[in-house]
Structure 1
Amino acid sequence: MRQESFKTDQAAITVFLDGPLWNGQPTATLGGFRSRNARSGQEVLSKAIGFARQQGVEQLIGPMEGDSWHSYRFITDTDGSPPFLMEPNNQAHELEVFMKAGFRQIGSYFSARVPLTPESTQRPMPSSEFKVEVWDGKDPEGMFGQVYDLSVNAFAENPFYKTISRNAFMSMYMPLVPLIRKELVLFARKPDGELTGFLFGIPNYSEAQTPKSVILKTYASMTKGAGRYLWREFHVIAARNGFQTAIHALIHDDNLSALRSIAEGARVFRRYGLFGLRIAQ
């Protein structure tokens, strides 16, 4: 991945030149943005935009670490509750720096939480189209390999999607293996055994040594009804394993997941945005 970083004593930013498409056109992305104050942030952002212009870039999106598989989005609104595991984080002035430079919001997302009550233990009706199973904890490399294969197909039409290599995917997720509880990784399989959906959950280790909340990190489905079943089964398993709250993490406002979160009675506690800028050449 072609990239260039700009740093001072008080700020840093990286330009990733091979970003995803935005409105069907190539972009570069801006990631790794950190600044102690607005002035230092404006300094490195100006250098990054100038560099992108010199490279012939006409569109920038950010914050994004090269693609949506890695960290992206600014927090735009919050109730002040502590960050959860793997959640994007930023200071308020960093968002303001982007806005003052002309960036405008092009994607909206939220995180919500829902109490896990006795009603959460009601399992959905079974289906003849697929069977849901819990990961057995064996062969994590094989497990994530299956997740990768399904993800590149299931997410291909998502906004700002860009394919990454299997090796890059594995290098991101294999370090998480010691943190995984196998009962929070679910698969949906067709009668012939073909994988048609998955759900990956993880305890919110940012909370405490023994977390009381659990994160629904990501899921995908290629068969109608499998996603809803995985979603519901996750709540059932989490409740029966002593978790008190489920966090529906980083959901796009226009995604079907948003409707499922509402149906579960979840309440939004954080909102996020992705921002774009068209550069005059």
Structure 2
Amino acid sequence: MSIEIIDTRDGFQQIIKDFSATLYPQHPFPNLQCNETIDENFDKGFVLYINNKPAAMACVINNANFRFENEKTACIAFYECIENSEASHTLLHTICNYCKKQGYKHLVGPINGSTWNSYRFATETITDSFLSELFHKDYYVNQFEQFGFKTTAEYVTQIDTKLTIPKVSNDVNEDISFRTLDVENYEAEIKKIFAFCTEVFQNNFLYTAIDEATFLKKYKALKDLINPEFVLIAEHNGETVGLILALHDFYCKHEKRLIIKTLARKSSLYYVGVAQELSAKVVKTALLNNYQCILHAFMHQNNASKNVSRKFSGEPFRTYKLFQKEL
């Protein structure tokens, strides 16, 4: 075995694209991480070779604002590996040694630079991949755990197959209005959503800020996938106070499925009931459009939106883990 250190982001991007073509030769969808642009805070890439052929790889991303337990922390990102425990252990050991020498106290992953990018591993085999879910090998969790990574957060995607609309006990204040996304003014709308998300997500676990230009770039890529009927905005005095963003699951061929990607409201008690009302409106629209189920994607186990999903018949669909290792 040998390890090559890659100094350039473009160089590592090409290597992981080539490796993924051999690692996932039959995968039909583009939700492989090789298709995600590597974060600009790329530090080093590490490629392990067996008999001169790539067998495992990952990179370190140095997000200066990323902290775990308020200490200097590196992100381990774009991890791919064959099913070989020695290869995995050697790669992870090399990366840990490098990060320790650079003064990092923790290594967190998989996280491709920040929580605005792809992160976490599914804990079971991904047999029914959905849009926005990263596809990867089912043994990655075991490789991280066997090396000594500890679970630092758990997430769940829940599925609502009943599409029933329960009675919501909290009445929304009458001066809060609801509307769909104005696609004719898409960029202006996304700028409002950026300001809202920056405020409501800033206390989320491992949150780091991104600039407006980066956010706009991400959402411009989603424009052709968005149906404005499924992007609902709650407003109070002209200000965004709640948001639900759902996408049609273009990967699902056996049923018509919707994915709730974002559900949030401002924390003030004045807006109690807004999230439930947004969810109810999306369920009603889904029924009118003959959807058969809804996925509530990637909810932190402690997230309030998980409770909303339970109210709307949400049952576990898939679980995920995020790991950390003290250096």
Q: TM-score, normalised by structure 2?
A: 0.79
Asked whether the 8 Å contact 1:116–1:243 carries over to 2, the reply is no
Taking the aligned partners of 1:187 and 1:255, their CA distance within structure 2 comes to: 20
Asked whether the 8 Å contact 2:83–2:139 carries over to 1, the reply is yes
Matches within 5 A, 1:250-265: 250-265=298-313
Asked whether the 8 Å contact 2:57–2:81 carries over to 1, the reply is yes
Task: Name the structure 1 match of 2:259.
Answer: 215
How far does residue 127 in structure 1 lie from its aligned partner after superposition? 3.1
Taking the aligned partners of 2:180 and 2:117, their CA distance within structure 1 comes to: 26
Taking the aligned partners of 1:219 and 1:109, their CA distance within structure 2 comes to: 15
Task: Name the structure 1 match of 2:228.
Answer: 182
Taking the aligned partners of 1:181 and 1:137, their CA distance within structure 2 comes to: 9
The change in CA–CA distance for 1:155 and 1:126 in structure 2 (over 3 A counts) is closer
Q: TM-score, normalised by structure 1?
A: 0.91
Matches within 5 A, 1:150-165: 150-165=196-211
How far does residue 130 in structure 1 lie from its aligned partner after superposition? 1.0
How far does residue 2 in structure 1 lie from its aligned partner after superposition? 4.4
- Indicate the structure whose relative CO is greater, using CA pairs within 8 Å and at least 6 residues apart: 1
Task: Name the structure 2 match of 1:40.
Answer: 87
Task: Name the structure 2 match of 1:137.
Answer: 183
Taking the aligned partners of 1:198 and 1:259, their CA distance within structure 2 comes to: 16
How far does residue 175 in structure 1 lie from its aligned partner after superposition? 0.8
- Give every structure 1 segment of 4 or more consecutive aligned residues whose post-TM-superposition deviation is greater than 4 Å: 121-126
How far does residue 166 in structure 1 lie from its aligned partner after superposition? 1.1
Taking the aligned partners of 1:99 and 1:148, their CA distance within structure 2 comes to: 35
How far does residue 126 in structure 1 lie from its aligned partner after superposition? 5.3
Taking the aligned partners of 2:162 and 2:123, their CA distance within structure 1 comes to: 27
Task: Name the structure 1 match of 2:12.
Answer: none
SS in 1 for 2:189: helix
Partner residue of 1:195 out of 215, 218, 240: 240
Taking the aligned partners of 1:81 and 1:130, their CA distance within structure 2 comes to: 41
Q: Which runs of 5+ in 1 are unaligned?
A: none
Q: Which moved more, 1:137-146 or 1:122-131?
A: 122-131
Taking the aligned partners of 1:188 and 1:97, their CA distance within structure 2 comes to: 43
Task: Name the structure 1 match of 2:109.
Answer: 62
Q: Which moved more, 1:55-64 or 1:5-14?
A: 5-14
SS in 2 for 1:82: coil
Seq. identity, %: 24
Asked whether the 8 Å contact 2:172–2:273 carries over to 1, the reply is no
Q: Which moved more, 1:221-230 or 1:55-64?
A: 221-230
Does structure 1 residue 5 correspond to structure 2 residue 5? no
Q: Deviations over 1:216-253 (max 9, x none)?
A: 00122113322221122111111111111000101111
Taking the aligned partners of 2:95 and 2:279, their CA distance within structure 1 comes to: 41
SS in 2 for 1:34: strand
Q: Deviations over 1:13-64 (max 9, x none)?
A: 0111226222222311111001122333223222211211111111111000
Aligned length: 275
How far does residue 194 in structure 1 lie from its aligned partner after superposition? 1.2
> Which residue identity does 2:290 align to in structure 1?
G
Asked whether the 8 Å contact 1:59–1:277 carries over to 2, the reply is yes
Taking the aligned partners of 2:46 and 2:251, their CA distance within structure 1 comes to: 30
SS in 1 for 2:123: strand
